[in-house]
Structure 1
């Protein structure tokens, strides 16, 4: 697909008003995307687990405007039933970016009502689940204009649009594994959208668990947008981008063989490399907290003592995602409850697992 593939022809149908609802999950990257080019194009490919329980539910209501303007948008955003005018600038930027592909945006007034299954300001990035849910709602509206639209095109364009709102959002449309960014060993991989990983995957990875320890809550001190921009001119950038390609190649073989020791090595190295890039940029910064490091040490000690295949990964923040096979769930959860919960803010953690992607909810 090319960018022009997502510019629609003249719509055949007309709409006056209505509403649609989608529930879309967060995702956790195993190989991290860090650094981007113009138009939300990733500087390196990434590969992620789609989550199941951490999701955003968004209802998009639309009504035809009496007078429209090619220069203005009309919308309001609510989180948990509360009007959020501070969300408006990000939505406006998103609408401006996608207008060539969703030309009906200026024809309607939109009411965007959203809610997260995880605690607000929990430190879990909601941009992936939020922007993907909104993109899917817009695609449901467009499908009513173009009833012959295929499900394949629907998902592809939803991912394409979501990427323009938040890069990682393009990986939340489908599951359980999604790649984003061109990689020579992944068929149909693309910089423009997330692609469901269709290669061989051993059974041990098919119901993988992710328990998220909420070490720190609230807004990050450095936004991901700023962080990505600091990869421009970073002294280690090119080697990092090459490393991401290499680690995806390793995971392709790991997924096929079910080699959990090799999986742990790649995933933990990727998490630490992401934070190493932050600590060696100019300006430099540290998003891990003392409790993040304490949890990592505890995981290493526990793994060495028990031989269990528990490991960690991190997003661009302080919280720790603990990954482990379902067969080891009882032992790992007991370890979390007895040894790790003390490092969590207000003893908060979220139990999640691999999911199959977004789903539409009947109004």
Structure 2
């Protein structure tokens, strides 16, 4: 039996007529980046992320049995308004997961969803959105099969979420999550994410993430397009090797609490991600002038203050400012006095490390 086959459904009760489930699921920010994937949303390299807390998607999934079971049937209501823009992505998602949730064509679904942060702002709304939807669907399966264990529930939810958006598999649990096979991390898998299985130094507990919204517009390049640019990329192999090495280095960092080494790895990872986009064909520059101003200001402040403030980036212009809880007051003061001026309309979000999705 393949590992994928372990997630095929064995439904005990498929006579449920209707119902509603609601989950809130957070976004996450990768420390070692996943960039480049194989078929079926399999990552080219392992990644590790902090799960966020305040930045989340809240999704309610209503379902009503229908007579016609030949096609998928669903409506999407985003932040109170019917929205067809998300339908193609959800249709693709349903096609990918139908083998694992065979009841999908038995119901009409009403998907009501909202974010606590601006959509398409580079805060990985696909991660929180797809994980929340996967969890709602798993709640239906658990109603049909009450024997499902909590461990299996989370594992399969992560597996399903991955088929909607790769990084979504890292949003089910928290606070430090690994996705992708890595030779030194026991239990790591390409099929779903796991909680980091080893001890973590207190320096990394309750780590802070202030997200500076430099550009709240639609992303210049979709994640799918960006990942595909790694095919035949001249530096792809070196990049995947580098990510694997950085995962190994971070294991030591999490054990010892070495904040300076943490900063070196995380900032290098962020800049490498953007370097891959700048050296692909076609090529893209995803940072904005204010992104670079923020990075330089962080470097100058860190040198002057000796605080352990750092940054990371997703595939966009916004900046995640990372710092330990023990240095929060001084870092927040610096952010408000120096960095908020570079944000679009002065908008930023103060977040902290969270512990995964929750049923509502």
TM-score category by the smaller chain?
A: over 0.9
Counterparts of 1:145 and 1:10, CA distance in 2: 6
Match of 1:50 in 2: 51
**How far is 1:81 from its partner?**
1.0
Match of 2:330 in 1: 331
Match of 1:219 in 2: 218
Residue 20 (1) aligns with residue 21 (2): yes
Match of 2:61 in 1: 60
Tell me if the contact between 2:118 and 2:216 (Cα under 8 Å) persists in the aligned partners.
Answer: no
Q: Within 5 A, what are the aligned runs for 1:249-288?
A: 249-288=248-287
Counterparts of 2:84 and 2:279, CA distance in 1: 35
**How far is 1:123 from its partner?**
3.6
Tell me if the contact between 1:50 and 1:177 (Cα under 8 Å) persists in the aligned partners.
Answer: yes
Matched position secondary structure for 1:60: strand
- Structure 1 residues 22 and 45, CA gap change in structure 2 (3 angstroms): same
Match of 1:3 in 2: 4
Q: Give deviations 1:10-55, integer Å, cap 9, x for gaps.
A: 4335200000000000000000000000000000100000000000
Tell me if the contact between 2:220 and 2:316 (Cα under 8 Å) persists in the aligned partners.
Answer: no
Tell me if the contact between 1:310 and 1:323 (Cα under 8 Å) persists in the aligned partners.
Answer: yes
Match of 2:317 in 1: 318
Counterparts of 1:173 and 1:139, CA distance in 2: 12
Tell me if the contact between 1:13 and 1:144 (Cα under 8 Å) persists in the aligned partners.
Answer: no
Counterparts of 1:283 and 1:82, CA distance in 2: 35
Counterparts of 1:47 and 1:164, CA distance in 2: 18
List 4+ stretches of structure 1 deviating above 4 A.
none
Normalization by structure 1: what TM-score?
0.98
Q: Give deviations 1:288-327, integer Å, cap 9, x for gaps.
A: 0000000000000000000000000000000000000001
Counterparts of 2:20 and 2:223, CA distance in 1: 31
Q: Give deviations 1:165-207, integer Å, cap 9, x for gaps.
A: 0000000000000000000111100000111112010011011
Counterparts of 1:44 and 1:67, CA distance in 2: 42
Structure 2: gaps (5+ residues)? none
Counterparts of 1:175 and 1:221, CA distance in 2: 29
Residue 201 (1) aligns with residue 200 (2): yes
The RMSD of aligned alpha carbons is: 0.9
Match of 1:167 in 2: 166
Tell me if the contact between 2:36 and 2:228 (Cα under 8 Å) persists in the aligned partners.
Answer: yes
Number of aligned residue pairs: 359
Normalization by structure 2: what TM-score?
0.98
Q: After the TM superposition, which of the residue ranges 130-139 and 113-122 deviates more from structure 2?
A: 113-122
Match of 2:241 in 1: 242
Matched position secondary structure for 1:266: helix
Counterparts of 2:119 and 2:138, CA distance in 1: 26
Match of 1:185 in 2: 184
Structure 1: gaps (5+ residues)? none
**How far is 1:121 from its partner?**
4.4
Matched position secondary structure for 1:44: coil
Counterparts of 1:74 and 1:249, CA distance in 2: 45
